[in-house]
Amino acid sequence: EAQVTQNPRYLITVTGKKLTVTCSQNMNHEYMSWYRQDPGLGLRQIYYSMNVEVTDKGDVPEGYKVSRKEKRNFPLILESPSPNQTSLYFCASSANRGGSTEAFFGQGTRLTVV
């Protein structure tokens, strides 16, 4: 079954404690991205990657890091989480860049930073 898998689904952490949210896709997609979703603001893109070792900033990259060492994995790293990073996070993948093909989304990670 084609899918994008994020882990964990729920996470509560304290300010400053580094964390990683994993994302894996089994569709051999080249394009992967991370979004955060906040009430009234819709989905905002954090980072995206067009292929292995190729990543670029989205609209809200501050406080986040990503890596793309393998095609299937695209982890999101918060080096020093702060309360304003409390949000619902989604990983997505698509066969081609940008919006030229449909994106497949993970189930989301609800992060709370206290």
Partner 1 sequence: SQQGEEDPQALSIQEGENATMNCSYKTSINNLQWYRQNSGRGLVHLILIRSNEREKHSGRLRVTLDTSKKSSSLLITASRAADTASYFCATDAYNTDKLIFGTGTRLQVFP
CA distances (Å), 49 to each of 10, 13, 31, 45, 112, in order?
24, 26, 6, 11, 25
Cβ neighbour number for residue 54 with a 10 Å cutoff: 11
Is 80 a residue that touches partner 1 (CB under 8 A)? Answer: no
Is 113 a residue that touches partner 1 (CB under 8 A)? Answer: no
Is 64 a residue that touches partner 1 (CB under 8 A)? Answer: no
Rg (CA), the chain: 13
Number of Cα atoms under 13 Å in the Cβ half of residue 59:
8
Total residues belonging to the chain: 114
In terms of Cα–Cα distance, which of 65, 76, 87 is closest to 11? Answer: 87
Is 74 a residue that touches partner 1 (CB under 8 A)? Answer: no
Is 34 a residue that touches partner 1 (CB under 8 A)? Answer: no
Candidates 13, 22, 58, 73: give the one binding partner 1 (CB under 8 A): 58
Is 88 a residue that touches partner 1 (CB under 8 A)? Answer: yes
Is 48 a residue that touches partner 1 (CB under 8 A)? Answer: yes
Candidates 11, 13, 22, 43: give the one binding partner 1 (CB under 8 A): 43
Residues that bind partner 1 (CB under 8 A): 4, 31, 33, 35, 40-45, 48, 50, 56, 58-59, 88, 90, 92, 94, 97-108, 110
